[in-house]
């Protein structure tokens, strides 16, 4: 798995050049606007809610002794909760709404890689791609929240909270990479088959998602460029994985 994580990360190094070579930037205009607007809305909401969450958590401490210390810790935890949930929502909202725009881009990249414009795949409409994006990302949003909440509770345990931060980052990375890979997988697999494929290649998903999350640390520019580069990188490695999966089958025919 660690090797595949590295492969997923390295794919980004050729992404910018490939986008320019295939003249794909025009296809990213709407997704980049979706990404920017979503980031602004979630940031404003997060700013307004952070203090409220900290205050709510602090009410769990009913004793007078240590109340100030717990209140301070609660404000930190509350801010972290808002940031984490904000990132989760941001990822899945932009991936779901951008699906109809990202799928054609992914297809053009696949055609370039395979050299086969008549490549066999499932034909889907704009609405089907949108519904697929909503379904996949809705499912991933639920699963990510189920995993994230207990991990956040580990923040209250000294020493353990260090490892929980790493685990939390990897969980977020996995589901970010998952969404990016599905823009390619939706042409080849049905819903259940795609879930199985990503589980088999979770290293690629995590590697792609790690850089996705790091991009979000870059103010404004990161939010705008994160989808074009991450989707291109994910498509490159997902197509390679699909080709490797077909080779044994082709050899047996």
Inform me whether the pLDDT recorded for 122 exceeds 70: no
Higher pLDDT, 225 or 52: 225
Distance set, CA 139 to CA 20, 61, 87, 109, 175 (Å): 33, 34, 16, 26, 10
**Is residue 177 within 8 Å of residue 209, measured between CB atoms?**
yes
**Is residue 23 within 8 Å of residue 228, measured between CB atoms?**
no
Q: Which two tokens stand for residue 171?
A: 């969980």
pLDDT tens digits, one per residue of 148-195: 888 877 876 777 777 888 998 999 999 999 999 999 998 888 888 999
Inform me whether the pLDDT recorded for 252 exceeds 50: no
What CA–CA distance (Å, rounded) separates 63 from 85? 29
**Is residue 241 within 8 Å of residue 202, measured between CB atoms?**
no
Strand, helix or coil for residue 131: helix
What CA–CA distance (Å, rounded) separates 126 from 99? 9
Inform me whether the pLDDT recorded for 251 exceeds 50: no
DSSP 65: T
pLDDT tens digits, one per residue of 223-238: 999 999 999 999 999 9
Average pLDDT over residues 67-76: 72
Average pLDDT over residues 1-30: 91
**Residue keyed to tokens 């904000």:** 86
pLDDT band of 83, cuts 50, 70, 90: confident
Q: Which two tokens stand for residue 232?
A: 């291109």
Distance set, CA 186 to CA 56, 150, 198, 229 (Å): 42, 31, 12, 19
Higher pLDDT, 118 or 94: 94
pLDDT band of 198, cuts 50, 70, 90: very high
Burial of 97: CB neighbours in 10 Å, binned 0-12, 13-18, 19+: buried
Q: Which two tokens stand for residue 69?
A: 């210390």
pLDDT at position 50 is 64
Inform me whether the pLDDT recorded for 130 exceeds 50: yes
What CA–CA distance (Å, rounded) separates 72 from 235? 44
Instruction: Please compute Rg for the chain using Cα positions.
Output: 20
Least confident of 31-40, 111-120, 215-224, 233-242: 111-120
What CA–CA distance (Å, rounded) separates 4 from 195? 17
Q: Sign (positive/negative) of CA torsion 94, 99, 227, 236?
A: positive
pLDDT at position 34 is 92
């Amino acid at each position: 798995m660690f090797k595949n994580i590295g492969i997923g990360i390295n794919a980004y190094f050729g992404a910018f050049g490939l986008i320019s070579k295939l003249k794909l930037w025009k296809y990213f205009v709407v997704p980049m606007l979706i990404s920017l607007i979503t980031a602004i809305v979630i940031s404003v909401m997060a700013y307004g809610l952070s203090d409220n969450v900290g205050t709510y958590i602090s009410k769990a401490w009913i004793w007078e002794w240590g109340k100030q210390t717990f209140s301070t810790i609660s404000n930190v935890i509350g801010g972290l909760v808002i940031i984490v949930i904000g990132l989760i929502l941001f990822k899945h909202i932009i991936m779901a709404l951008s699906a109809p725009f990202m799928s054609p881009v992914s297809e053009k990249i696949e055609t370039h890689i395979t050299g086969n414009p008549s490549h066999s795949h499932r034909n889907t409409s704009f609405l089907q791609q949108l519904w697929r994006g909503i379904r996949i990302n809705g499912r991933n949003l639920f699963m990510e929240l189920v995993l994230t909440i207990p991990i956040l509770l580990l923040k209250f345990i000294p020493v353990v909270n260090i490892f929980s931060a790493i685990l939390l980052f990897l969980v977020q990375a996995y589901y970010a990479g998952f969404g990016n890979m599905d823009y390619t997988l939706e042409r080849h697999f049905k819903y259940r088959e795609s879930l199985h494929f990503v589980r088999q290649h979770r290293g690629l998903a995590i590697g792609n998602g790690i850089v996705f999350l790091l991009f979000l640390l870059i103010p404004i520019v990161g939010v705008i460029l994160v989808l074009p580069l991450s989707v291109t990188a994910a498509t490159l490695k997902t197509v390679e994985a699909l080709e490797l999966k077909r080779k044994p089958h082709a050899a047996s025919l």
